[in-house]
Amino acid sequence: MPLADLAAAEQSGLVDAYAPLTNRFDEMRTADGEVRPHWQYLLDALRTLGPAGIEERWREASRLIRDNGVTYNLHGDPQGVSRPWELDLLPLVIRSEEWAELERGLIQRAELFNLILLDLYGPRDLVRLNLLPAELVDGFAGYLLPCHGIEIPGGQPLVHYAADLTRLPDGRWQVIGDRTQSPLGAGYALENRVVLSRVLPSLFRDSHVHRLAGFFRSMRRALTRIAPPRADDARVVVLTPGPSNEAYFEHAYLANYLGYTLVQGGDLSVRDGALWLRTLGRLERIDALLRRLDDLWCDPLELREDSLLGIPGLVQATRAGNVALANALGSGVLEHEALMAFLPQLCQHLLGETLALPQVPTWWCGDAESREQVLDNLDRLIVKPLSAPRGQGPLEPGAMGPEARARLIAAIQAHPAEYVAQEQVHPSTAPALIGQRLEPRPTVLRTFLISEEEGYTVMPGGLGRLTLGHESLGVSGQLGGLGKDVWVLASEPERQETLLPTADVLMTPAVVQESTVSSRVADNLFWIGRYAERAEGLVRLLRITIFKYVERSDFPLSQATSSCLRSLLEALTNQTQSLPGFVGEGAEERLRSPVPELLSLISDRKRPGSLPQTLQALGQAAYSVRDRLSADTWRVIGDIESLQASLSEHPPRQLSQALDELDPLVTALVAFSGLSLENMTHNEGWHFLETGRRLERGSAIASLLLSTLVPVSSEQDETMVIEAVLGITDSLITYRRRYRGGTRVGALLDLVFQDEGNPRALAYQIAKLQTLVAELPRGDLAVGRTLVEKRVLRSLTDIRLAEIDRLIQVGPDGMRRAELDRMVTSIAEGLAAISDAITAHYFRHEEQPHSLLRRNEPPPPA
C-alpha cells in the first residue's frame, strides 16, 4: 500500500469512511453505524500506528509469507504452484462469549455427522426408516460400498471436521458448507496466526487472544488414540497427493508442526493386511494415517482403479483393523449437497435435539414436494448438479436466458435426484485494508474440530476468507481470496502452550524414532544436491567466462586471451550439454560472437541445461520434500527462486548486467550449501543430498579439466587457462601460497585433481563419496562391499596412484595430453556409473497394482 494512500486515509480517518453494505451483517459496525465495542482497541491501535507503521507491518507480513514459502494454488491459476498465500493485515475479531455459543452448535453438528457416518456404513437404519432416501445415499459417488461394515474402534470415524460459516443479517451464524473428507485450512490458520503475532506483537498480546497450540495437541492425541493398540509408540504419517496439489504447503507444514512423516501413496505398501512405509532397505509399520487425499483416490484396487495417488489394499488394511485413517474412508458422503435438507429431522432422531446452528435452506429435487417448491421459486435460488465436474460453480437460473432456463427445468424434471437447490448466500462482511481505507468485504469463516475421548473440541479461531470485490465469496473447497486470522478474545491473558512433551510425558521412557527416509524422498534429496551444485558450478564458470570475454574486448589483439576464452566457451557447452552451443554445428560463428549464446544460457528457461532450467529443477525437487527443509533453508530457496524469476522475466541485455545478477545468485547457492551442511541432521536423507552434491561437483571438475587442460597450447595461453580454472574452482589463493614457481599445469593438477584436502579438487569429491556411500543403507543380507562402494574405491585408487608427471606429458601429435584425457575420462565415466548404481539400488519406481475393472468416472483432479 503506497504511503501517499495511507496518508490520505489518516486525513479522512481510517475508520470514519467505513460504510457497511446494506442488508448484511457487518463484523465491525452495527446497522446504526456504531463501532462494536470489541473492535475498538484494534482500531485505536491502527490509529496509533499511523500510515508509516501500517505500511511497515504490511511489508513485514508480506516478507514473512514469502520467506516461509506459503503458497496456495487455485485450479487454473496462471501463477501455478508458486502462487503466494495472501493475508489481510486485519484479523477477524470475535467475542469469547459469542464463540462459546458457536462452539456448542459446531460440536452438536460434528456429533450428528459422526452418528450419520456410523449408521450409513453400519446398520443403515436411517435408510430403512426412510429418514434418508436410499436413492440419495446409494446414488452418490461419495458413498463407498467397499467400506460398508468396516468397524471403527472407538466409534469416531469423523476425527477431523470443518464447517464454513457466515452470518445472517440478524448476526446469527449460518453453516453454508461442511468439509468431512480431508478438511483443508488448519495449517493456513496457524500460519496466519504466526505472521500476525509477529508483525503486531503488542496488539496480539494485549488483546488476550485464545491460542491455537492446544487444538493441535488435541489433534496429536486423537491420531494416537485411533491407532490400533499394537504398541505404545503408534506411528502416524500424513498422506499427501504430492507437490502438484494446491495445498501442498499445508500438508508439509502440518507434518512438520505435528512431528509426523509426510508421505505419498508410492511410499506406502500393504503387506500381510497391514500398512508399511517403504524406507531404504526396510519396511516400517504404520498405525494411523492423517490423509489429505479424497476418498476415491485412496485405493486403486477397491475404489478408483485409475488412481496413481493411493495405496493398493488400503481398504483391506482398514477392514482388518491394522491401520486407522483420519478421516475414515467413506466420510465424503457427508459432503453430499442434499444432506443439509435432511439434517434437522436427523438431529431430532439421533440426538433428540433441535439443530442448533442455522444452515443455508436446501432442497433435494428427488423429493417431489421439494422439487415443486424449487421450480416455483427458481429465480431466487442456485442449483447444483450433483454430477457436475470438479470445480464447476453452481447455476444461477435468475441470470439465465429463457432457453437456458428452460433446458435446466427440463433437466431437473427428467433427472430430479441429480439436482440440489439452495437459497443464494450473501455473506456477512468484515473490514479489510484496501487501498487507502478500511472497506467491507464478504467474509466466510472456516472452523475446525477434532475428536477427543469425551467429544469434540473446536479450534479457538479458524480461517477467515474474504474477496477483494463486493461479490459474494463462492463457497467451495478451495481457499480463494485473502486469508484472515481469527481472534477469539479471552477475558484474561492466555497461558502460552507448546507441542513439546509435557512433564507427565517426560516421566515415561523416551522413545527415539527419527523420521525415516523413503525412496522418493532420498531420490529428491539426491537431486537437490546435484542441481544445487550444478547451478553453482555453472554460475562460477559463467562469471569467469564473462570476465575473460571482457578482457578480450578491451585487448582485441590478445590471442592468448582468445584461446583461453575458446576453451571456457567449449567447457560451458560440455558441462551444460546445451548442444550445439560452442562445440556443435555452427560453433565457429558462435565462438566469434558468443554474447547471444551466453545470454541464452543465463536467461532462457526453455533451453535444456540453461541456468534458469537448472534452478527451476532445484526448486521443484526442494518443493517435493519441503517438510525436510528448515525455515532458514527454505528462505534461501525462496531467494534463489526470486533471482531465477528475475533472470527469466527480465533477461539481461548485456553481459555486464548479467554479472550483476549472477553475483547474488552464487551467494545464495553457497548459503544453501552451508545450511544443508550445518543445519541439516546428518541422517540418511542428508547422506543422499551430499552424495548428489559430490557426484555433481566431481563431474563438473572432470568436464572442466577435459575442456581446458587436455588441449595443448603455448605457455602464455596455458597461463591464462590455468588462472581461469583456478578462479572457477575457487583455488587461486591456495595456489599462490603453495606454489612459488608460476602457473604450471602440473601444479594445477596437484591442487585441483589430486589434493584430497582441497574441497574443490576431484580427489576430495571421491574421497568424500567413499565415506558417504559406506554409510548408506546396505540391507540385512549385504556382505562385503556393495557395487557402489567398489566403483568409488576404483576411482579413488586411480587418482591416488596417478603420476602427475605422466599426466602432463603431451601426446605424439603435440596437440593433446593423451594420458590426462584417458585418466579424467575414466574418472568421469566412473562417476556416471556410481550415479547409475545408486539410482538402480535405492530409487525404486515400481508399477502399482490396479483393479482390472473399468468404470465410467471423471478424470482425476488436476
Per 3-state DSSP, what percentage of the chain is helix, strand, and coil (rounded to 5)? 50, 15, 35
| 514 CB-near residues (< 8 Å, 6+ apart) | 681, 683
pLDDT at residue 2 in the model: 47
Contacts of 89 (CB under 8 A, 6+ apart): 54, 57, 58, 61, 196, 199, 200, 433
Model pLDDT, residue 846: 55
> Which residue is listed with cell 485413517?
325
What pLDDT is recorded for position 234? 87
Largest CA distance in the chain: 101
Q: Class of 361-383+391-423 per CATH?
A: alpha beta
- Pairwise CA distance, residues 477 & 177, whole Å: 9
Q: Cα–Cα distance between 129 and 787 in angstroms, integer?
A: 67
pLDDT of residue 857: 44
CB 480 within 8 A of CB 86: no
Residues of the chain with pLDDT under 70: 1-14, 74-82, 231-232, 390-391, 435-436, 469-480, 493-515, 552-561, 741-743, 779-782, 844-862
Q: What pLDDT does residue 551 have?
A: 76
Cα(404)–Cα(422) distance, integer angstroms: 19
**At 507, phi and psi to the nearest 5?**
-70, -20
**DSSP string over 475-486:** -SSS--SEEEEE
pLDDT, residue 68, reads: 86
Domain boundaries, the chain: 92-338+427-491, 361-383+391-423, 518-680, 711-843
The answer to whether residues 637 and 629 touch, using CB atoms and an 8 Å cutoff, is yes
Amino acid at 522: A
CB 120 within 8 A of CB 162: no
166's CB contacts (< 8 A; 6+ apart) are 173, 174, 176, 425, 427, 428, 442, 443, 444, 445
Cell of 56: 511497515
Q: Cell match 595443448: residue?
A: 712
pTM, entire model:
0.88
Q: Is the dihedral of CA 389, 392, 395, 400 positive or negative?
A: negative
Query: Which strand (E) or helix (H) includes residue 770?
Result: helix 762-774
Task: Give the per-residue pLDDT at 780.
Answer: 58
Question: What nine digits make up the cell of 448?
Answer: 475446525
Question: What is the Cα–Cα distance from 701 to 128, expressed in whole angstroms?
Answer: 75
What is the pLDDT at residue 51? Answer: 81
Alpha-carbon 392 to chain mean position: 24
CA 29, 31, 34, 36 dihedral sign is negative
Average pLDDT value over all residues in the chain:
87
Rounded to 5 degrees, what are φ and ψ at 176? Answer: -120, -5
